[in-house]
Structure 1
Amino acid sequence: MKPTLTLIAIFVAFNLCAQDLIEFRGIGRSGHYPETSLLKQWPENGPELLLKIEGVGKGYSTPIVVNQTIYVTGIKTDTTDMLSAFSLKGELLWDTPYGRSWTRSYTDSRSTPTYSDGKLYVSSGTGQLSCIDAQTGKLIWKVDAVEKYGGEIHRHGDAEAPLVVHNMVAYMVGGEKNTMVAFNKNNGEEIWQSKSLGGAKSYASPSLIQHNNRPIILAQTTDNLIGIDAKNGTTLWNYNLIQYHTSRQGVGGNTNPPLYHNGEIFVTSGYDHPGLMFSLSEDGNTIRLKWQNDTLDNHHGGVVLLNGNIYGANWQHNSRGKWVSLNWETGKVNWESEYENKGSIITADNMLYLYEEKRGNVALVEPSTEELKIKGSFVINDGAGPHWAHPAIYDGKLFIRHGDVLLIYNIRE
């Protein structure tokens, strides 16, 4: 389907100094975006809408932006996941099918592509990993990783954003044979496998940390939080998470990339699973539980760390939740506040951006340990379905995806 393009206003000039948005949730998948000089208060009706692109395909994934090109996944026809490239004026450059979509539940595309050295890496809803040329859309290599390695996908399909580590792309497979497999990012040849600890793939994408100059991949299955040596795939440690999944609902539904800061790791998922803080040993070979918190159990909207405090939304049931702030060091609750509903959160230029999942309210928030300080809001009326795609920020622009529609707002001062 050819996209319908609506140019709302003249697009602001492209800033050559802008840092490319190459992966899910910004820097280190932490929800941080390296932007400055952004609005600290929004106008009454929200920031200026610069561009609306319709026809990006149905999806819950987030766009990335590299070399003045927007890349976004979606389902445009039948049951095929499609990666599309658009110019910053909204013109469709190419469409490339990359795998079978998930058809059993919540069928829209999930995987956010990852960019590295002129190539894009993306996973289909059924666990097919593909490498695609970013300029032409040509498929370079593809592996049915879940099928080939005896993997197991959790009940709502594969939502992973592949992780690029130097010359490799690391990918979770889950199941009883392997936990993760690393492939040569140029030709798809296997580099290493990590041993299985049991449990299917979770919904959380893996992330890379540098702990005392040691590269460690943080990964989650339905059962465990796992530290993997990025150089050779050796499992350094694992911590059983499923012991906290005490009700039938959401068992194994680990959903969010962990946060890492100064040798500590915070992990959270919904369904009344407590938020857990771990301390890594100096050599990174062991972890210990530091504290747990029963208030912040983020469903799947991510959490951020800002000025020594964690911000996110909690889960009361699948369609309800409040917004929460915790102290990173102690786990003490700063505040718990109503705002429309739970949703996703990111941060840039010392401000927070909330995207509520039920009705599409978007809020600009000043970080505070005292209360939820809203500095402007507006509502997304375009698109259809749950508002599950995480927002993104690039070159002074806020990207909001809702189903088949991508909206881009000017948030520069």
Structure 2
Amino acid sequence: MVPLGPAAGAVALNKDTGKEVWRSEPIAGKLSYASPISTTIADVDQVLVLSTTTTAGVSAKTGQVLWSSDDYKCQIPIASPFPLGDGRVFVTNGYNAGAIMFKVEKQGDRFVCNTLFKTKDINGQIHQPILHQGFVYLNGNDKSKRFGFLCADLDGNVEWQTDKSPGFDWGGYLLADGMLYVIDGNTGDLCLVEPNPAGYKELGRVKLLGTRETWGTVALSDGKLLIRDQTQMKCVDVRGK
């Protein structure tokens, strides 16, 4: 749990009993919608925490704040920090916050966090990016900028973006069987997209939902895709015949 209050930045509870295991020191910034993310950096299990002003790594074992940075700020964080491996942590959100890449390393008995790049060319307001073969794919729309769906390299360079053709609003997405399953948040369409840094290639599209603001997270289990809008939920069999 991430209360981000004056009493604690993060709190761990026993999943069976609900009893408190540890609580971290306060972490600067206000409450966010971003979920805590589990990762391992330099063989140390950590929980990534994002507030309005701070990105931090908390020891999953003790609750100690191992490192933090105030180099990324967002009015209302929703998308969670995204660990890319090798100590890299990618963060992107909306409200013109842009994106940042951190590099976290252990030096002696302490962790050090440095910023590799910051950019306003990438915005991901609601959903985490997807990493595939050295590139990230994400819905790049926020309140003020409409980049559509986009692909970027790990140095922050945008390879392509769809802008408004198609726009996708804030639809969710996932990667499975070498394809991106992307919901068009404006139309309720499910789009199959090839994850290719050379350009946007839509392989197919089918209308499954009928309302606007189809922004829910997409889930896949045993070949069945779960999607929802403001009024309904559907389970779609997407296994090959």
Question: TM-score if structure 2 supplies the norm length?
Answer: 0.89
Aligned to 2:141, the other structure's residue is in SS state coil
SS of 2:24 mapped into structure 1: strand
Q: Is the 8 A contact 2:149 2:167 kept in 1?
A: no
Whether 2:183 is the aligned partner of 1:359: answer no
Name the CA distance, whole Å, in 1 between partners of 2:223 and 2:144.
33
Aligned partner of 2:230 in structure 1 is 403
Structural mapping, 1:208-247, within 5 Å: 208-241=38-71, 244-245=73-74
Q: Does residue 173 of the first structure (1) align with residue 3 of the second (2)?
A: yes
Distance 1:262 1:375 in 2: 33
Q: Is the 8 A contact 2:51 2:77 kept in 1?
A: yes
The residue type equivalent to 1:336 in the other structure is Q
Check conservation: 1:396, 1:412, Cα contact below 8 A: yes
C-alpha RMSD over aligned residues: 1.9
Contact 2:105 2:113 (C-alpha < 8 Å) held by counterparts: yes
Partner of 2:239: 412
Task: Tell me which of 245, 249, 265 is aligned to 2:89.
Answer: 265
Distance verdict in 2 for CA 1:319–1:310, change over 3 Å: closer
Name the counterpart of 1:390.
217
The higher radius of gyration belongs to: 1
**Alignment counterpart, residue 197 of structure 1, candidates 24, 27, 34:** 27
Q: Secondary structure at the match of 1:172?
A: coil
> What is the 5 A alignment of 1:98-117?
none
List alignment gaps of at least 5 residues for structure 2: none
Q: Distance in 1 between matches of 2:35 and 2:227?
A: 20
Distance between the aligned counterparts of 2:13 and 2:71, measured in 1? 27
Counterpart for residue 278 of structure 1: 102
Contact 1:271–1:315 (Cα < 8 Å) also in 2: no
Within 5 Å, which residues of 2 pair with 1:1-400?
171-241=1-71, 244-245=73-74, 251=75, 253-260=76-83, 261-282=85-106, 285-317=111-143, 320-328=146-154, 330-337=155-162, 338-342=165-169, 343-382=171-210, 386-400=213-227
Measured in 1, the distance between the counterparts of 2:209 and 2:136 equals: 29
- Work out the percentage of aligned pairs sharing the same amino acid: 26
CA contact (8 A) 2:82 2:128 kept: no
How far apart, CA to CA, are the structure 2 residues paired with 1:379 and 1:178?
A: 45
1:354 Cα offset (Å): 1.1
Distance 1:295 1:280 in 2: 23
The TM-score normalised by the length of structure 1 is 0.54
Equivalent AA in structure 2 for residue 266 of structure 1: F
Q: Structure 2 CA distance, aligned partners of 1:287 and 1:227?
A: 10
CA deviation profile, 1:162-205 (whole Å, cap 9, x unmatched): xxxxxxxxx01112221111111111111111111232221111
Task: Using the TM superposition, give the Cα deviation of residue 321 of structure 1 relative to its aligned residue in structure 2, in angstroms.
Answer: 4.2
Q: Aligned to 1:202, what secondary structure does the other structure show?
A: coil
Contact 1:340 1:361 in 2 (8 A): no
Find the aligned partners of 1:221 and 1:409 in 2 and give their Cα distance: 35
- Which stretch has the larger CA shift, 277-286 or 220-229? 277-286
**Count of matched residue positions in the alignment of Structure 1 and Structure 2:** 234
- CA change 1:339–1:241 in 2 (3 A) is farther
- Residue 318 of structure 1: how far off its partner (Å): 6.2
Q: How far does the alpha carbon of each residue in 1:136-187 deviate from its partner, in whole angstroms, 9 at most, with x for none?
A: xxxxxxxxxxxxxxxxxxxxxxxxxxxxxxxxxxx01112221111111111
Counterpart CA distance in 1 for 2:168 and 2:144 is 10
Q: CA deviation at 1:396?
A: 1.1
Q: What code does the residue aligned with 2:6 have?
A: E
- Following superposition, the deviation at residue 316 of structure 1 comes to 4.9
Aligned to 1:56: none
> Aligned partners of 1:288 and 1:217: how far apart in 2?
18
